Amino acid sequence: MDNGPDAERDAILAALKPVVEGIAATFGPVCDVVLHDYRHPEKSVVAVAGAVTGRQVGGAMSEIGMRVLARGGAASDELNYVTRTRDGTLVKSSTMVLRDSTGAVFGALCVNVDVGAVTRVHDLLGALAGLGAAPAELPTTTFGNDIDSVVDALVDAHRSKQRGSWAELDRAERVELFDGLDARGVFAVRGAVEQVAARLGISRASAYNYLSRARAAHDTSTGGST
């Protein structure tokens, strides 16, 4: 009988699959629940109920999952954060990290609730009451079913914060771009360096060089801590 860490993790995931269905059934069509196995980032979704984020079994982790994976043992639950999907749906989410008996992070249980309808009612009541405060700008999260689309979206998002094309960025801005992608967990995914290089139109060696510079600068600014 296999009593190794993978057997334990498989058992935890199997026990949570009915929970996925139960939570989604409780909240109804405004909710979806996604169970992730981070041992396989490119196909981390092992169970899903609901359709708010369009996830499918066998789909890749989102950028939130990348961030959790990059933090490793320091990862913690992220509860009741609000974001937007790429199609504009306003979503309130909670990501609960899964650990084995050694404390190692290996997955997550994610609950996503479409709060757009509630927000529209709130805005209507605010208008009737004469309250005209502008809503806060919310980050957009990519919930893709393949890892390439998630990485591409993160690269595009970081490039949009800077001026012009890669060729127009100075060295500091290029290092900053790679530092930002690294902080979002992009490079925790196998093959991401090559994909980012292709997306930016640079060589694989150049991408590794800028990533190395970004990590060195980050270590210097944090006193070498991780």
DSSP per residue, 114-152: E-HHHHHHHHHHHHHTT--PPPPP--B----SSHHHHHH
How far from the centroid of its chain's Cα atoms is residue 173's Cα?
Answer: 23
Q: What pLDDT score does 3 carry?
A: 66
pLDDT at 42 over 90: no
Q: What pLDDT score does 130 carry?
A: 67
Comparing C-alpha atoms, which of 65, 24, 28 is closest to residue 48? 24
The SS3 assignment for 24 reads helix
DSSP state of 77: -
Q: How confident is the model at residue 31 (pLDDT cuts 50, 70, 90)?
A: very high
Q: What is the pLDDT of residues 59-82, one digit of tens each?
A: 988 888 888 888 888 999 999 988
Q: What is the pLDDT of residues 166-176, one digit of tens each?
A: 788 888 888 98
Cα dist. 167→164, 181, 191, 209, 215 in Å? 8, 18, 23, 16, 21
Residues 6+ apart with CB under 8 A from 7: none
